[in-house]
Structure 1
């Protein structure tokens, strides 16, 4: 799988990150209570493929229900550019709209029924693997 370096961050610029991911993003649109309120769309990556470049001290975290998901957002502008999803606590969910332009080739959106989270996770065959570290077969390229 081809990987490219994407960069991005929050609105005010206090939080900046880089992430290695496919240029063809597989984005989830979830309808759970919090994703509905904040219109969360995200793609999932391994923690190994994510680097926070700046702003750790400018992040704050919100949790609820099971407290597995860590909804991190900028203290200044309130934008959640990435978070730790309940589905993949070993990875990050990144907001594609927080990426800098120029590295995304395509976006495929998949609806995820977060209102029935347990059943949806049971039925989904590949979501948990999306946050597993990439093997040596992946090729990293920069654009």
Structure 2
């Protein structure tokens, strides 16, 4: 299972362009990403499918836009999808700790053309696991 996550991570990093592979080098037995900034994590993992500005993409599959996405108003929705995945989106919660997931959720809810209220915390993510 770890190989799948690392393969997805490597592919997403290669496609994102905004963050280099050096930003999130995996070493030793640590299976978690070392970065903590929501935008950097988004660029390394999410932007390969959802695009850098969150506009989404269609091609080998349909990757919904995150920019202007009303489904992100409630943070429980993206928390669930990041942890568990759905359809073409793999579950990536195992490669991020609770604080990293909260940072990504805050980034997609407050940036990318979104301006939803409230901050997601690591405790919110822990409660959803």
TM-score range, shorter chain: under 0.3
Which one has the bigger strand percentage? 1
Greater share of residues in helix:
2
TM-score when normalising by structure 2: 0.25
- Structure index of larger Rg: 1
Select the structure with the greater relative contact order (CA < 8 A; seq sep ≥ 6).
1
